[in-house]
Structure 1
Amino acid sequence: MHGPDLVSWLLAALTAASGGYCLSRLRRAPCTPVTAPTVPGAPAVPGAPAVPGAATGAAPGRLHAHEADLAEGLMGFGMAAMAVAGTAVPGEVWAWVYGPPAVLLVLAAARRPDRRAHRLHHAVGALAMTYMALAMTAAHGHAGHHPAAGSPALTGALLAYFGGYALWSGSRLLSGSGGTAAVASAGLPRACRLSMGIGMFAMLLTM
């Protein structure tokens, strides 16, 4: 990343904190099947079969939540490392870190319609990380020429995407209402997504 060191460290602290919070959510919501709800007043029958759909509705939702938290945690810590290390780490290393997850997310989004938008968003983020690393490494290799890193058209498209995503996330965060429990369950994850959207926008802006 080009730019003042203070900005890079502030960005690294913001994205690392967001990534750490996302990973901490993996421990608070274990992915375990939910037992079938009992009818009030009905006697419990040992060994009775579960109600169809009672456990399958909650478990996939938790799986998707774990998938999103893991992807966002990887993105947050990767952005923090890239903001600090810059071109010290070869772009090929970042490509191997973020390329395979991006491909897997795209394939998962193509095969399953549920959570497709979330998976594609995380895939775009992983591909953007790979693109930034390879572009900055290539630009750093041309010593004395200082070429523009990457393709201006692609950088502009990514800037528009993540800028729009940050505005959308911010509007959702501001429109949210409820008590402390609602803020903890919905507000903090949205704030983390907003901070990572802003962080990605800032990193693309400094290319």
Structure 2
Amino acid sequence: MHGPPLVAWLLVALSAAAAVSCVLRREGRDEALLGAGMAVMAVPLSVFDPPRWSAVMLAAVFAAVAVHALRPSLRRASHRMHHSLCAGAMVYMSAAMAGAGSAHTGHAEHTSAGTPLLTGLLLAYFAGYVLRAGPRLAMPAAPPHMAPGGAIRVRHAPEVAAACRVAMALAMFAMLLAL
């Protein structure tokens, strides 16, 4: 990933936190895989310069997640499409990383990877998603889930899942900008 190391490390932290949150929710394991993949992809190249084949492996894993997300399930169709689009964006970024190569010329050089039109469309989608879903988090429609003893069940609250998706969409937007 190109860009300032501080931004990259913040993306690593955000993506890893989203992945852990998804694992704890149990039903978000596909999203956890995407979050973990985003964390790995956001590690600054100054710390870890992965071999070229690793981007191809990541692209294959994310392609499988995209196909898996489209299968009929209990989730709403819009959620399945969003999840598949997220995985598809990860395939695109992995392929762009593989296409850019990992060879260095001895000096810091920012080379653009990917197709500008597709990158722009993905940026518009994720920006729109965050702007549409983000404000809904500020005003929850329902009271928090209560456990039998009266304790709030934060881990399984739908707001946690929505916040996880918004955080991952923000991270995806930032990674696409750095592409």
Fold shared per TM-score above 0.5: yes
Q: 2:32 and 2:25 mapped to 1: Cα distance?
A: 10
User: What do residues 151-204 of structure 1 show as CA deviations (whole Å, max 9, x unaligned)?
Assistant: 000000000011111111202111215545478313222211111010000000
Identity %: 42
1:137 aligned residue: 98
Q: 1:134 and 1:146 mapped to 2: Cα distance?
A: 17
Query: Where do 5+ consecutive residues of structure 2 fail to align?
Result: 147-151
TM-score, structure 2 as length reference: 0.80
Letter in 1 for 2:158: A
User: What do residues 41-77 of structure 1 show as CA deviations (whole Å, max 9, x unaligned)?
Assistant: xxxxxxxxxxxxxxxxxxxxxxxxx2xx112111111
Q: 1:113 and 1:73 mapped to 2: Cα distance?
A: 18
TM-score, structure 1 as length reference: 0.70
Letter in 2 for 1:104: H
How many positions carry a matched residue from both structures?
A: 163
Letter in 1 for 2:38: M
Aligned-pair CA distance for 1:137? 2.3
1:88 aligned residue: 50
* CA radius of gyration, larger in: 1
Q: 2:69 and 2:31 mapped to 1: Cα distance?
A: 13
| Aligned partner of 2:32 among 63, 69, 73 | 73
1:21 aligned residue: 21
Alignment of 1:51-62 (within 5 A): none
Larger helix proportion of the pair: 1
Tell me, yes or no, if the aligned pair for 1:13 and 1:80 is still in contact at 8 Å. Answer: yes
Query: Where do 5+ consecutive residues of structure 1 fail to align?
Result: 27-65
Tell me, yes or no, if the aligned pair for 1:102 and 1:127 is still in contact at 8 Å. Answer: yes
Q: 2:35 and 2:118 mapped to 1: Cα distance?
A: 22
